[in-house]
Chains A and B, each alone.
Chain A
Amino acid sequence: MQDISLHLLDIIQNSISANSTLINISINADKFNNTLKIIIADNGRGMSEELLNQVRSPFITTRKSRRFGLGIPLFEDSTVFSGGSLTINSQLNLGTIVEAIYKIDHIDRIPLGDIGNTITLLLSSEDNVEISLKLICNEKVFEFDTFKIKRDFNDISFKNIEVINWIQGYINEGSKMVFGGVLNEIN
């Protein structure tokens, strides 16, 4: 994976397969502590303690078609390579929280990538999931919430390409506004 947004696209699909209806994503850059923290919290079916203990292994998957699953191991590796870490908390029938931490200025930290594209592709493909995205950098905050958008804009269709293009641009402008000058790939 070339950037964090691709890992997000991958990991969020785990939430969707777990029948989540609500996915909260927060991306928090703290320039004083030099950390970029990504949290994905869902209300899906969660994992048993047994599965949770094994889930970082590439040889564990819930899928029947193959015997391995690389999504979480690759995500974890990308954090560890930058001096960060990945933690997963989960409770059966309540949901799962994945927390990835990167060191912002580490030479091996992968760039944030096109967060807007990740969110809009998910929106255009999945009808029954509400996604809330929060970008935070010290005092700056940007929020995007499909639940609020659907409430405020009646009958809006996330399947219309003009709508999703606009949302993609909106999110990426937000990302620039929040992370510009702190994450060196965004200026």
Chain B
Amino acid sequence: MKSIEELEAIRKKTLDEISLRSNKDGVRIVVGMATCGIAAGARPVMTTFLEELKKRGISNVSVTMTGCIGVCRLEPIVDVIHPDGSKVTYVKMNPEKAAQIVAEHIVNGRVCTKYTIEQEL
């Protein structure tokens, strides 16, 4: 059984690191996590984003959840919002696509156009 004291060691270790999502000027990833999103599998998508960002040591990207965006049939939906306010909306997400979006969009700056909402309209 883990003991709560172990948290102290992790805290000390992580104090020196920049918090994963401390940078307010960075890219924001927003996952739709209302009833529709959760039922469609948004939770593993959010978990994958967190894991992939950590794996790649990316610290200036925030991952948060939001409510229903209004197009439930396309859930899970993820918005990637750039510091300049421009936004890319990805739809029908799954963990594999999330990993790909981190690699392509977040790291290399290339929008994964085949997963964006424009493909569905």
Residues of A within 8 A of B (CB): 1, 6, 9-10, 13, 17, 63, 65-66, 69-71, 74, 117-118, 121, 124-125, 149, 152-157, 159-164, 166-167, 169-170, 173, 177
Do the beta carbons of B64 and A6 come within 8 Å of each other? no
Q: Are B68 and A155 in contact (CB under 8 A)?
A: no
Q: Is the CB of A156 within 8 A of B11?
A: yes
A169–B20 CA distance with the chains assembled, in angstroms: 19
Q: How far is the CA of A65 from the CA of B33 in the complex (A)?
A: 15
Contact A9-B38, Cβ < 8 Å, known A117-B43, A166-B2: yes
Q: Is the CB of B8 within 8 A of A159?
A: no
CB-based contact A125/B65 at 8 Å: yes
The 5 closest A-B pairs by CB, nearest first: A161-B54, A65-B70, A71-B35, A159-B21, A160-B14
Contact of A1 among B19, B38, B47, B51 (CB under 8 A): B38
Cα-based distance from A125 to B4 in the complex (angstroms): 22
B side interface size, CB within 8 A: 38
29 A–B pairs (Cβ distance < 8 Å), ordered by A: A1-B38, A9-B33, A9-B38, A13-B67, A63-B68, A65-B68, A66-B68, A70-B35, A70-B36, A71-B34, A71-B35, A121-B33, A121-B43, A124-B21, A124-B64, A125-B63, A149-B7, A153-B7, A156-B7, A156-B11, A157-B14, A157-B19, A157-B20, A163-B10, A163-B11, A164-B50, A166-B2, A166-B7, A170-B4
CB-defined contacts of A157 to chain B, threshold 8 Å: 14, 19-20, 22
Tell whether, in the assembled complex, residue B47 and residue A153 are in contact, meaning their CB atoms are under 8 Å apart: no
Of residues 1 through 25 on chain B, the ones whose CB sits less than 8 Å from some CB of chain A are 1-2, 4, 6-8, 10-11, 13-15, 17, 19-22
B73 smallest CB distance to A (angstroms): 12
B77 within 8 A of A: no
CB of B14 within 8 A of CB of A6, answer no
Taking A10-B38, A161-B51 as given, write out 10 further A-B residue pairs in contact, using a Cβ cutoff of 8 Å, ordered by the A residue number: A9-B43, A13-B65, A65-B70, A70-B36, A74-B39, A121-B65, A124-B64, A149-B7, A157-B19, A157-B20
Quote the shortest CB–CB distance from B41 to chain A (angstroms): 9
- Residues of the A chain whose Cβ atoms lie less than 8 Å from the Cβ of B1: 173, 177
CB distance from A116 to the nearest CB of B (A): 11
Contacts of B39 in A (CB 8 A): 1, 6, 74
0/1 interface trace, chain B 41-57, chain A, CB 8 Å (1 if under): 00100110011011000
Tell me, in angstroms, the Cα distance from A167 to B14 when the chains sit together: 14
Q: How far is A26 from B10 in the complex, measured between Cα atoms in Å?
A: 27
Q: Given the complex, which residues of B lie within 8 Å of A156, measured CB to CB?
A: 7, 11
Q: Which residues of B contact A155 (CB under 8 A)?
A: 11, 15
Known: A66-B68, A149-B7, A170-B4. A162 touches B13 (CB 8 A): yes
